[in-house]
């Protein structure tokens, strides 16, 4: 039985999802009614979540609804949550490439009526808005990331940064050369040159700044007197996302949607509102996790595409862990409690949760016992976090339960509940 169905619009988004939970060995691919799917399980103190994921043949709302409906029928409508992970366009200046957006409002911005008056066409929108489950939304709003291994795959410099860096070099009279400085700060040199020519910031021949390029460089020099700042750090946003039927290359699209529909819109995709409508009709919670791979304009930056797909998938998995108690119904939770107790010793978890009840103290004792800081997941429920760590300690982590308890007993030497757990 599957608890959570995850739909990806593209195969590379699906491939990124399969890198979560420790990699493809955690996912088992099989064929369900002709669909290639991957299945995995997530353990938590609230029970075990069963996941099933697949990808669409083509982008778009219709494909998303068709794929989801087909798999819902195969699972005899036992799925408790429908999710989508992948990439989207983001609002320039409000988000950065690679940032993840959890959608808190969804709608189709191209639904409505087109009217021609006096030869001029105008659009009258008919906005039907969808929202996630209020309790899941609250978990989204309290979601936090700790040290995450996958963040190391984030590109160091965006093409936007490389453009600005290069025109500042040209402004100072420094011509491009094959040296480590240019390789470091402008690794995508060929693509950057194409973009600068497209912006009319450099001449078509050679590396000379045009009048527009000189003006832009002078502005940057004045604005960033002490040096060009790096790209912003990775961020996660809880924000509205609009869905349309076409790929957009329009630098004004976000301002247009903000003025017409939703002033706080940060993302645009081609599928999410369709799944949200389906979830509302079937009374199944919907979670949309998408990461910014472009700004919906003509200046694409494909260097972030793979990272964005991975980031959206990783954040979705962690959110599902945080929401496991909301997704599993009470009957199933009660049925799974004996299994959880047998696997992880519920009494020990309760005791540890009493002694170390915040992430910093848990990380400290875990590392002191020989564990890695990256082992500590971003789980807001402390009991769930201890459950995961005890599971790791019994499944090949650097820390054993004995190691952990012996170090804890240094802080609490007379704790009889811990002493009885030492082998």
Q: Which two tokens stand for residue 116?
A: 């021609």
Residues in the chain: 423
Half-sphere exposure for 44 (CA within 13 Å, toward CB): 28
Q: What is the DSSP string of 200-253?
A: TSB-SSSS-B-HHHHHHHHHHHHHTTT-PPPPPPP-EEEEEEEE-SS----TTH
What CATH architecture does domain 159-224 belong to? Orthogonal Bundle (1.10)
Binning pLDDT at 50, 70 and 90, where does residue 338 land? very low
Q: Residue 44 pairs with which residues in a beta bridge?
A: 47
The Cα–Cα gap between 346 and 50 comes to 21
Encode pLDDT of 273-294 as tens digits: 999 999 999 999 999 999 999 9
> In the predicted model, what is the mean pLDDT of residues 7-17?
96
Nearby residues of 312 by Cβ (< 8 Å), 6 or more positions away: 13, 16, 85, 86, 87, 100, 289, 290, 291
Encode pLDDT of 85-118 as tens digits: 999 999 999 999 999 999 999 999 988 888 888 8
Tell me, yes or no, if the two domains 4-154+233-329 and 159-224 fold the same way. Answer: no
What CATH architecture does domain 4-154+233-329 belong to? 3-Layer(aba) Sandwich (3.40)
Q: Which two tokens stand for residue 251?
A: 């630098």
Q: Which of 54-63, 191-200, 252-261, 336-345 has the lowest mean pLDDT?
A: 336-345
Encode pLDDT of 23-72 as tens digits: 878 899 999 888 899 999 988 778 899 999 999 988 999 999 999 999 98
Domains in the chain: boundaries? 4-154+233-329, 159-224, 344-420
Binning pLDDT at 50, 70 and 90, where does residue 380 land? low
pTM above threshold 0.75: yes
The Cα–Cα gap between 249 and 389 comes to 45
């Amino acid at each position: 039985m599957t608890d959570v169905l995850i739909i990806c619009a593209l195969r590379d988004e699906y491939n990124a999802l399969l890198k979560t939970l420790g990699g493809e060995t955690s996912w088992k691919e099989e064929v369900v009614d002709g669909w290639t799917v991957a299945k995995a399980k997530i353990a938590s103190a609230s029970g075990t979540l069963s996941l099933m994921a697949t990808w669409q043949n083509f982008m778009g709302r219709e494909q998303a609804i068709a794929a989801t409906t087909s798999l819902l029928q195969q699972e005899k409508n036992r799925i408790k949550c429908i999710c989508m992970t992948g990439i989207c366009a983001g609002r320039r200046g409000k988000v950065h490439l690679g940032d993840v957006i959890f959608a808190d409002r969804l709608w189709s911005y191209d639904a409505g009526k087109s009217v021609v008056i006096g030869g001029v066409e105008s659009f009258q929108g008919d906005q039907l808005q969808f929202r996630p489950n209020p309790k899941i939304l609250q978990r989204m709003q309290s979601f936090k990331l700790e040290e995450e291994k996958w963040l190391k795959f984030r590109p160091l410099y965006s093409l936007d940064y490389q453009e600005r860096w290069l025109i500042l070099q040209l402004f100072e009279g420094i011509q491009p050369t094959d040296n480590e400085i240019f390789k470091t700060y402008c690794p995508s040199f060929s693509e950057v040159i194409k973009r600068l020519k497209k912006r009319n910031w450099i001449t078509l021949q050679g590396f000379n700044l045009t009048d527009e390029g000189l003006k832009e460089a002078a502005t940057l020099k004045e604005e960033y007197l002490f040096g060009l700042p790096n790209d912003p750090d990775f961020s996660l946003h809880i924000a509205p996302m609009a869905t349309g039927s076409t790929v957009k290359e329009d630098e004004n699209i976000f301002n247009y949607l903000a003025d017409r529909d939703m002033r706080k819109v940060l993302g645009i995709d081609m599928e999410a509102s369709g799944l949200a409508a389906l979830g509302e009709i079937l009374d199944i919670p919907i979670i949309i996790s998408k990461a910014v791979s472009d700004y919906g304009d003509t200046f694409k930056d494909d260097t972030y595409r793979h990272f964005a797909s991975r980031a959206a998938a990783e954040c979705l998995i962690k959110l599902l862990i945080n929401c496991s108690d909301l997704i599993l119904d009470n009957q199933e939770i009660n049925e799974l409690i004996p299994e959880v107790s047998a696997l992880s010793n519920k009494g020990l978890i309760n005791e540890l949760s009493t002694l170390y009840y915040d992430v910093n103290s848990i990380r400290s004792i875990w590392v002191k016992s020989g564990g890695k800081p990256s082992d500590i997941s971003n789980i807001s429920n402390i009991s769930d976090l201890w459950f995961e760590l005890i599971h790791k300690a019994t499944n090949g982590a650097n820390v054993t339960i004995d190691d952990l308890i012996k170090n804890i007993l240094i802080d609490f030497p007379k704790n009889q509940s811990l002493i009885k757990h030492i082998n």
